[in-house]
């Protein structure tokens, strides 16, 4: 039923046995006839449910609320932050330093542990707010008919079978099967992704109709933008479409990031290695007759030396620095590991509306007087020009074009308003606003046109007729003029002639116009037709009979939500970087394909018939294996439901892809949670989407995602640089201890000195690599695969080489100092400085994984230069300040000792630079072959 004549016959309802015979099959309500709906629901439109029946159903169906998933308690949530191998290492280091009575170092280590735990707890607590936001979105009031009277109740009290009345501005309180609909339009974008309000009707639909096309249903949490309607509640709370999304959010897997997995594996392996080496060290010394206590201390020294105490803190701080960089590029990170995940993204799944497009409908082509005019300018700003045959024209002087624009301007109930910031706001339907903008580009304002042609009467748009018509008075002639706009078929069927190029009426060539409509629609544009009829003076009313025929065809206006200018370049950058881009939208196939081709997601060949698009209906019919195979070669997915999106993400992940998924609606929340990194829109996004996501775009722009991926790659590179820099020190310190025990001599460095080296250099030297600029060509590399090792083979070789050089330098100079007559304290001071200055020289090697420091630029990372200077001053204090000598058992050394120390560092630097040169030539030769 449509229009204002919709009625339903009275029905006996609310019989006691009806509750037991209700066939509440939520997925098929849209396919039922009206009387079947009433019979299944056990109600009537006129009377609604009785109080007695309501009480029964409340017990059966419960409250109209979304259940909140039971989460872990506060104590469990806090403890879970410590359940990580890297944290085990830090705790072990803290305990050991406490046992050694080095309480300051112990406090620092445990401080890092607590800081990591606090950050993790805060981020996880924020993530759990998503379902709470969803529950809040279902609170509010509803107008119902109960016991034969209309009343206002809390939405939470609704039950299945309730008769609900809605009007413009209302939020739909539960899932409804519509039985009355008068000009009803509902914004379902948060649920379906459809960019325009959906026109509603009441007739049954095929059972396999996808969610976005169920025009006789109204779904919970969507918004009525126009008209009125009455519907029967078919689902409440958890059984609504929004409730199903809630369950999908709860069930979607939260995946660990690639780096998190690799570091966890590495840390677990390191625990075993350190424990094994410590045991071996103890046994070697003990079997050689050394005192057990001395060997315990040697084993402890080995463990402390081999543990990379600064690694967890460095990872956290490096990611935090990445967060700050991303914020400057319109990306807000909610979960720290997401920064690194961005760098390994191999597929970006993007919504269309507002992300790849402007979310501002724009007229791009006009057919009038037999000519096709191109309209420049994108969005609602009335700036642009009209072109005919690639030449700019004066639109106001072309009579058919002007009349077509006037018809779109006057047969219109929306408004375009300039705001104080120099932008534009809209009131009403985006399609109508696009018509206003087009007219204003031609210099035709509503004020001037309305002054000459004031409106007298209106036939509002109804889905039954598919057109709108307005009656105007021509102030010059007192004639009445009818302007009509609507779907192409509805307008063309009422026309008998057409406005020709010279402004006269002429032949109405229906086949030509239909061919033009098909050609324009084939480009993915939405087409509206326009007509007029000039009447005599006197009549102040307009009826459907007045526009049933004798209309003069004025032309067509074709519009689309245009792509963002930067989206084309961003997609191109993705392809260069080896990142796949897939569009997942609730929009129609042709529109989706047109946008995909215009920005390079799809190749611009063949016809745009949507044949290469995978739609929701086909997805629903596929098995998981079929879908996993199909997603490899398909880039555009249209008319998809929330469940379809979740399946698509899972299918892509089954192919080994690391997925970044964008979304703004409630319908996107499950897939945002399932994706390796969920990206919500900051401007148009719902609270549910933002709370579920890992990252929020402040400008809703696809190009910002690509910029974030670039930053993510830079952050990952810097993390690898830190790991590559810090591990040789740990290995070198461990090797020195083992070598000393094996040789049966005093330890070249003792535990407290090892702690000093590890903690100070990690903060002042290693962390400075987090400020390293991005490597050249970072977006021309292919994405990292999840199976790729954290360190490539040649980097492991470099790591071992530097560790061996540090061990040899420290051990050698320690022995040399002893033989020169220095005390053990002085010799250990020399060995400690070998490690620190060896790390300083090697730090410059690590500024680029491949390129020479001379290509990188010595002063392109000033925080690093500051760190080196500060560390140098601290080592001078470590060597010469009496209080430091006491605390760390160091001793002043001769100036000549510094020559040997600096010499070891310089040798390490030169050898690694030569190694990088050889590696680059080897890689180049393989590439050439």
Got the DSSP string for 48-107?
-B-HHHHHHHHHHH--SSPPPPP---HHHHHHHTT-SHHHHHHHHHHHHHHHTT-HHHHH
Using alpha carbons, list the distances in angstroms from residue 760 to 350, 750, 846.
44, 16, 18
Confidence check: pLDDT of 844 > 90: yes
Number of Cβ within a 10 Å radius of residue 787: 7
Please answer whether residues 727 and 791 qualify as being in contact, where contact means their C-beta atoms are separated by less than 8 angstroms: no
Confidence check: pLDDT of 818 > 90: yes
State residue 681's pLDDT score: 84
State residue 581's pLDDT score: 93
Please answer whether residues 335 and 123 qualify as being in contact, where contact means their C-beta atoms are separated by less than 8 angstroms: yes
State residue 193's pLDDT score: 66
State residue 317's pLDDT score: 76
For residue 328 the two structure tokens come to 């400057």
Query: Which positions ≥6 away from 409 have C-beta within 8 Å?
Result: 435, 436, 439, 444, 446, 449
Specify burial of residue 235 (Cβ count, 10 A radius: 0-12, 13-18, 19+).
Answer: buried
Residue-averaged pLDDT of the chain = 83
User: Phi/psi at 154 (nearest 5 deg)?
Assistant: -70, 140
352 alpha carbon, distance to own chain's centre: 12
State residue 131's pLDDT score: 38
Top mean pLDDT of 15-24, 119-128, 312-321 is at 312-321
Edge to edge, the sheet with strand 331-333 lists 331-333, 695-697, 677-681, 659-663, 347-350, 580-584, 636-638, 614-615
For residue 399 the two structure tokens come to 């009579």
Residue 472 pairs in a beta bridge with: 455, 481
Instruction: Please count the residues of the chain.
Output: 929
Confidence check: pLDDT of 604 > 70: no
State residue 606's pLDDT score: 40
Dist. CA 797–CA 801, nearest whole Å: 6
Q: What spatial distance separates the first Cα and last Cα of the chain, rounded to whole Å?
A: 72
Q: Are strands 551-560 and 526-535 parallel, antiparallel or unpaired?
A: antiparallel
CA atoms within 13 A on the CB side of 829: 27
pLDDT tens across 96-153, in order?
Answer: 667 766 676 577 667 667 766 775 566 455 444 543 444 454 457 889 999 999 898 9
Percent of the chain's residues with pLDDT above 70: 85
State residue 319's pLDDT score: 79
Answer with the residue of higher pLDDT: 10 or 753. Answer: 753
Top mean pLDDT of 54-58, 189-193, 208-212, 588-592 is at 54-58
State residue 3's pLDDT score: 39
Top mean pLDDT of 231-235, 314-318, 771-775 is at 231-235
- Nearest residue to 212 (alpha-carbon basis) of 584, 638, 672, 623: 638
pLDDT tens across 189-246, in order?
Answer: 777 767 678 889 999 999 888 888 899 999 988 888 888 899 999 999 888 888 887 7
Please answer whether residues 74 and 254 qualify as being in contact, where contact means their C-beta atoms are separated by less than 8 angstroms: no
Task: Name the DSSP class of 377.
Answer: -
Tokens 């490539």 locate to: 792
Name all contacts of 793-799 with Cβ < 8 Å and 24+ positions apart: 794/919, 795/720, 795/724, 795/849, 798/724, 798/912, 798/915, 799/724, 799/727, 799/728, 799/731
Query: Which positions ≥6 away from 630 have C-beta within 8 Å?
Result: 614, 622, 651
Confidence check: pLDDT of 927 > 60: no
Task: List residues with catalytic annotation.
Answer: 351
Percent of the chain's residues with pLDDT above 90: 39
- Nearest residue to 313 (alpha-carbon basis) of 124, 117, 125: 117
Confidence check: pLDDT of 183 > 90: no
What is the pLDDT averaged over residues 444-451? 91
What is the pLDDT averaged over residues 716-742? 86
Number of Cβ within a 10 Å radius of residue 456: 15
- Nearest residue to 259 (alpha-carbon basis) of 701, 583, 718, 729: 718
Dist. CA 869–CA 247, nearest whole Å: 55
State residue 85's pLDDT score: 59
State residue 420's pLDDT score: 73
State residue 62's pLDDT score: 86
Task: Name the DSSP class of 416.
Answer: E
Q: Are strands 141-146 and 149-154 parallel, antiparallel or unpaired?
A: antiparallel
- ∠ CA 558-560-561, nearest 5°, is 160
State residue 107's pLDDT score: 73
Average the pLDDT over each of 12-21, 297-306, 381-390, 771-780 and give the range with the smallest value.
12-21
- ∠ CA 140-141-144, nearest 5°, is 150
DSSP reduced 3-state for 253:
coil
What is the pLDDT averaged over residues 679-704? 82
Number of Cβ within a 10 Å radius of residue 521: 18
Local confidence band at 776 (pLDDT 50, 70, 90 cut-offs): confident
Local confidence band at 924 (pLDDT 50, 70, 90 cut-offs): low
Average the pLDDT over each of 292-301, 418-427, 624-633, 889-898 and give the range with the smallest value.
292-301
Please answer whether residues 142 and 150 qualify as being in contact, where contact means their C-beta atoms are separated by less than 8 angstroms: no
Confidence check: pLDDT of 406 > 70: yes
pLDDT tens across 467-514, in order?
Answer: 999 999 999 888 999 999 999 999 999 999 999 988 899 999 999 999
């Amino acid at each position: 039923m449509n229009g204002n004549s919709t009625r339903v016959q009275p029905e006996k309802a609310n019989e006691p046995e009806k509750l037991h015979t209700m066939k509440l099959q939520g997925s098929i309500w849209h396919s039922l006839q009206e009387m079947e709906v009433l019979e299944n629901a056990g109600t009537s439109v006129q009377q609604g449910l009785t109080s007695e029946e309501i009480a029964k159903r409340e017990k059966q169906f419960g409250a109209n609320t979304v259940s909140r998933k039971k989460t872990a308690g506060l104590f469990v949530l806090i403890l879970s932050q410590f359940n990580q191998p890297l944290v085990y290492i830090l705790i072990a280091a803290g305990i050991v330093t406490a046992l050694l009575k080095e309480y300051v170092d112990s406090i620092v280590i445990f401080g890092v542990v607590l800081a990591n735990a606090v950050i993790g707890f805060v981020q996880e607590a924020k993530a759990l707010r998503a379902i709470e936001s969803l529950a809040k979105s279902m609170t509010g009031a509803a107008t119902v008919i109960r016991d034969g009277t209309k009343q206002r109740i809390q939405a939470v009290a609704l039950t299945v079978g309730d008769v609900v009345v809605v009007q413009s501005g209302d939020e739909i309180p539960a899932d409804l099967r519509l039985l009355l609909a008068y000009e009803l339009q509902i914004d379902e974008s948060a649920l379906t992704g459809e960019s325009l309000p959906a026109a509603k009707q009441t007739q049954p639909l095929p059972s396999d109709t996808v969610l976005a096309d169920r025009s006789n249903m109204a779904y919970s949490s969507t918004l009525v933008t126009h008209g009125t309607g009455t519907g029967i509640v078919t689902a409440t709370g958890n059984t609504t479409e929004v409730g199903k999304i809630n369950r999908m959010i709860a069930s979607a897997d939260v995946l660990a990031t690639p780096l998190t997995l690799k570091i966890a594996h590495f840390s677990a392996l390191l625990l075993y290695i350190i424990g094994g080496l410590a045991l071996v060290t103890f046994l070697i010394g003990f079997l050689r007759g050394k005192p057990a206590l001395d060997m315990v201390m040697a084993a402890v020294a080995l463990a402390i030396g081999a543990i990379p105490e600064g690694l967890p803190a460095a990872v956290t701080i490096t990611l935090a620095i990445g967060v700050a960089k991303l914020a400057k590029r319109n990306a807000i990170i909610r979960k720290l590991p997401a920064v690194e995940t961005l760098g390994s993204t191999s597929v970006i799944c993007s919504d269309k509306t507002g992300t790849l497009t402007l979310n501002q409908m724009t007229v791009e082509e006009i057919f009038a007087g037999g000519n096709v005019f191109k309209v420049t300018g994108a969005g609602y700003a009335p700036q642009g020009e009209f072109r005919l045959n690639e030449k700019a024209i004066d639109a106001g002087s072309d009579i058919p074009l002007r009349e077509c624009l006037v018809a779109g301007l006057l047969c219109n109930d929306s408004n375009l308003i300039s705001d104080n910031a120099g932008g534009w706001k809209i009131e009403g339907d985006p399609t109508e606003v696009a018509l206003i903008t087009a007219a204003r580009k031609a210099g035709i304002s509503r004020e001037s046109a309305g002054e000459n042609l004031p409106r007298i009467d209106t036939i509002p748009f109804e889905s039954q007729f598919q057109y709108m018509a307005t009656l105007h008075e021509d102030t010059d002639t007192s004639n009445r003029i009818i302007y009509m706009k609507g779907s192409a078929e509805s307008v063309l069927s009422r026309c008998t002639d057409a406005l020709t190029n010279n402004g006269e009426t002429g032949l109405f060539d229906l086949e030509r116009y239909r061919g033009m409509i098909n050609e324009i629609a084939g480009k993915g544009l939405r087409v509206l037709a326009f007509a007029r009829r000039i009447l005599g003076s006197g009549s102040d009313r307009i009826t459907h009979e007045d526009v049933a025929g004798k209309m003069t065809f004025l032309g067509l206006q074709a519009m689309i939500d245009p792509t963002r200018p930067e989206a084309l370049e961003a997609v191109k950058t993705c392809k260069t970087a080896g990142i796949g881009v897939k569009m997942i939208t609730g929009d129609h196939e042709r529109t989706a394909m047109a946008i995909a081709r215009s920005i390079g997601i799809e190749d611009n060949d063949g016809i745009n018939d949507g044949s290469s698009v995978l739609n929701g209906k086909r997805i629903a019919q596929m098995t998981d294996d079929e879908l996993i195979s199909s997603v490899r070669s398909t880039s555009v997915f249209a008319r998809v439901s929330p469940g379809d999106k979740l399946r698509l993400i899972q299918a892509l992940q089954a192919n080994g892809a690391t997925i970044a998924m964008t979304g703004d609606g409630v319908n996107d929340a499950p897939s945002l949670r399932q994706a390796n990194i969920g990206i919500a829109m900051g401007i148009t996004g719902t609270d549910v989407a933002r709370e579920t996501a890992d990252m929020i775009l402040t400008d809703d722009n696809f190009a910002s995602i690509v910029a974030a991926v670039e930053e993510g790659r830079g952050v990952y590179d810097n993390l690898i640089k830190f790991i590559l820099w810090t591990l040789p020190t740990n290995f070198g310190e461990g090797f020195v201890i083992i070598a000393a025990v094996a040789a049966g001599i005093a330890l070249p460095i003792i535990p407290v000195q090892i702690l000093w080296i590890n903690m100070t250099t990690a903060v002042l030297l290693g962390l400075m690599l987090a400020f390293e600029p991005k490597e050249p060509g970072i977006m021309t590399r292919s994405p990292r695969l999840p199976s790729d090792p954290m360190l490539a083979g040649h980097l492991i070789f470099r790591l071992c080489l530097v560790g061996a050089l540090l061990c040899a330098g420290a051990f050698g100079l320690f022995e040399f100092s002893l033989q020169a007559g220095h005390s053990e304290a002085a010799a250990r001071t020399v060995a400690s400085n070998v490690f620190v200055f060896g790390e300083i020289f090697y730090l410059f090697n690590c500024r680029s994984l491949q390129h020479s420091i001379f290509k990188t630029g010595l002063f392109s990372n000033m925080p690093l230069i500051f760190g080196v200077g500060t560390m140098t001053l601290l080592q001078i204090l470590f060597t010469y300040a009496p209080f430091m000598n006491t605390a760390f058992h160091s001793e002043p050394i001769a100036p000549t000792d510094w020559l040997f120390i600096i010499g070891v560092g310089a040798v390490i630097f030169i050898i690694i630079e030569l190694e990088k040169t050889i590696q680059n030539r080897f890689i180049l030769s393989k590439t050439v072959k």
